[in-house]
Structure 1
């Protein structure tokens, strides 16, 4: 398939339930758990446990309808505001937060978090805590100066972004431009946690292939530093699974803070 014919997530959208089933479910045939769930959750837990990332407002700018990465954050922030490009993704997140019938089951991700914390009996408490912390799920347009117009967001203490820059960026210039927009949402000294795929050119949802921007660790580091961030921690995990659903070769975790 010609990469030029790949669909674009923020233009064409995709079925968020199919995406979650492919890459984040607990189904036996879901082979991505080490990369998509375990590696990010372990690093998020270590990062937040250090105690210096906390505050009033956390913004989540992540791909599709992901929430697994917020289980650690909800212990350290009063309010979590989730920003989504696609209406279907908003509906999928709200289906979970409102405990509606048919919501995607994230219990396996909650269990990973509490197991790492050594509190395996607190799965239900963790789910309640996260639902309570997610105060708003808001539609955004990344091309607008105020991406949540007419809503004006408060300056954030922290932003977490999982996979979004991979799928919305056409090239290096796009990546840097979006990264600077994200930085503008943060308070001086605020923290930015980036989780993304390395070396990826496509991902598959159902019968459709979607574009992904391929970059390496060196580029991500330079882009963050150029956008005014100081990198506090960086981890890379090489891909271990076998699947043709996506061609990424590794997963990147970076924790950084915005210069004062």
Structure 2
């Protein structure tokens, strides 16, 4: 049996571009799309079109340099503040936001969103909407009680966190603490939208094998309740992808609101 990976994302980071190419590209050999793109986009589209989650400020606290999950949200919030724990992720994301040459191409995800949403709006219009809304890309630090210190921000109407919590937390206690730190950025009654992988112990980026926190559906539901949230919607999908890059068993999508 392989030893537990020694590398840990908050301490060692990973190559942000390779992460996108491994897990979120449209290459023919990339067979994770059904779990990592299609499943969350379908749930996001349904969640936002119901009209309950909207407001002025959306905070995105997600892993790597992903943007596809913001397509469904950009019509429902005036401002999107993107927070990253690593400088390299900020650089990669800003390359896309600024439309610079060599930025990762998210067109396939935009087209998928348009197809799922069933609207005639051109995918390029959606990308420009996200670029315009996501002009604030800043660093955060979960080692601090206030992860955005010394910044001061208005309480958010919604927080989205995709594929992050399983790679920044070493154990269940740390997960609950960090979920509480996120909650403090939300106004009472504000929403959290969370997606992650269940049953994961490792993931690979380039030549690096990194450790992930192994947790299940019951744990994450209990963690949200402990952090003061009420779960509104939950969907779990069994893994369909065949890949040695990562050993997850399921993917989960949860929408919840903070008790007033």
CA–CA separation in structure 1 for the residues paired with 2:12 and 2:153: 26
Corresponding position of 1:177: 177
Distance 2:48 2:89 in 1: 26
Map residues 94-243 of structure 1 onto 2, 5 A cutoff: 94-243=94-243
Given that residues 163 and 196 in structure 2 are in contact (C-alpha distance below 8 angstroms), is that contact kept between their aligned partners in structure 1? yes
2:10 paired residue number: 10
CA distance in structure 1 between the aligned counterparts of 2:11 and 2:37, rounded to whole angstroms: 26
Whole-angstrom CA distance in 1 between matches of 2:83 and 2:123: 25
Q: Distance in 2 between matches of 1:236 and 1:107?
A: 26
Provide the residue aligned with 1:49 in structure 2.
49
The one-character-per-residue Cα deviations of 1:41-99 (angstroms, maximum 9, x if unpaired) are: 00000000000100000000000111110000001000000000111100000000000
Counterpart contact for 1:199–1:250, Cα < 8 Å: yes
Is residue 146–residue 181 contact of structure 2 (8 Å, CA) maintained in 1?
Answer: no
Separation in structure 1 between the aligned mates of residue 148 and residue 216 of structure 2, nearest angstrom: 30
Q: Which runs of 5+ in 1 are unaligned?
A: none
Structure 2 distance, partners of 1:67, 1:154, is 22
Provide the secondary structure at the position in 2 that maps to 1:149: coil
Q: Which runs of 4+ in 1 moved over 3 A?
A: none
Give the Å deviation of 1:115.
1.1
Measured on the aligned residues, the alpha-carbon RMSD in Å equals: 0.9
CA distance in 1, matches of 2:231, 2:146: 26
Equivalents in 2 of 1:104, 1:59: separation in Å?
A: 22
Question: Could you tell me how far 1:149 is from its partner in structure 2?
Answer: 2.3
- TM (norm. structure 2) is 0.98
- SS of the residue 2:130 aligns to: helix
Alpha-carbon deviation of 1:146? Answer: 2.4
Matched pairs, number: 259
Unaligned 5+ segments in structure 2 are none
In structure 2, the residue matched to 1:93 is 93
Structure 1 residue 120, shift from structure 2 partner: 4.2
Structure 1 partner of 2:31: 31
Report the more deviating stretch, 145-154 or 35-44.
145-154
Q: Please state whether the residue corresponding to 2:68 is helix, strand or coil.
A: coil
| Distance in structure 1 (CA, Å) of the matches to 2:162 and 2:132 | 21
SS at match of 1:138: strand
Alignment partners' CA distance in 2, 1:228 and 1:145: 17
